Amino acid sequence: MTIAAARAHLRPAAWLACSSSLALLLGGCAGSLLQSDAKPPDTFRLGFDPPTAAATASATPSIAGLALAVARPRAAVAIDTDRIAVHAAGNRFDYYADARWAESATQMLQQNLVSALAATAQFGGGVMTAPARVPTELLLDVELRRFEAVTAGADAASPGAAPVVYVQVQVSLVDSRRVARVTSFVSEAAVPASENRLSAVVAAFDRANAQVVSDIAERVQAALAALPATP
């Protein structure tokens, strides 16, 4: 007897019971495969408090109506990630387990720079992320060179001295109207964590990030005095 013939001889109730049992069996298998009891990673975001930026009361006449776009920083693949990087002994590059940034390091830096530069009240045309929807006269080109915790141990879990967080950024301020570089510099910070714990390391990242962002905002303001007056 063929399968089709056998199925035809089954009473409707029996066939329904078989179908229901098969559906429950498949549903149970799918649930066990797709569901996970793994703990989600802790998520951290590095912000920047605008009042800590070096703001001035009013913009200088030469830049009062200009707009600035902050490019998304370039970075090596190892640090252009939402994972928290650790440079361990023996030049080993690793990441903290079960911990993530809320965005990638480059996205966080770009957002922090926009907040810090907007807080200076120097740009009458606004400060925005690049690519901007409207033309801007100034562009801040950014390269994130370092964004990691350096530990003397073999990896992030090794006991011992507290890690030191390093943040290093190369910045160029470009006058797009004249295709000319106004200034270029490197800003960096090294901040020791208070202890060899993830929470202390994240706090050190927060301080190092704030130092670099604040320094960049101040040095960009100083360089703006070199811009020629707008027509």
Task: Tell me how far apart the alpha carbons of residues 211 and 167 are, in angstroms, rounded to a whole number.
Answer: 9
Please state the pTM of the whole predicted model: 0.77
- The three-state secondary structure class of 83 is strand
pLDDT of residue 143: 98
Say which residues have a Cβ less than 8 Å from residue 195's Cβ, sequence separation at least 6. Answer: 162
Query: For 100-140, how does the pLDDT look when each residue is reduced to its tens digit (9 = 90+)?
Result: 999 999 999 999 999 999 998 888 889 999 887 888 999 99
Q: What does the block give as tokens for 19?
A: 């179908």
In terms of Cα–Cα distance, which of 103, 104, 209 is closest to 149?
A: 209
Residues facing residue 85 across a β-bridge: 95
DSSP 39: P
Alpha helices by DSSP H, listed for 35-176, are: 105-119
Say which residues have a Cβ less than 8 Å from residue 56's Cβ, sequence separation at least 6. Answer: 120, 121, 122, 221
pLDDT of residue 3: 44
How many Cβ atoms from other residues are within 10 Å of residue 156's Cβ? 22
Q: What does the block give as tokens for 2?
A: 């063929």
155 or 46, higher pLDDT: 46
Q: Which helix (H) or strand (E) holds 106?
A: helix 105-119
Burial call 167-201: b when 16+ CB within 10 Å, e when fewer: bbbbbebbbeeeeeebeeeebebebbbeebebebb
Query: For 163-219, how does the pLDDT look when each residue is reduced to its tens digit (9 = 90+)?
Result: 999 999 999 999 988 888 999 999 999 999 999 999 999 999 999 999 999 999 999
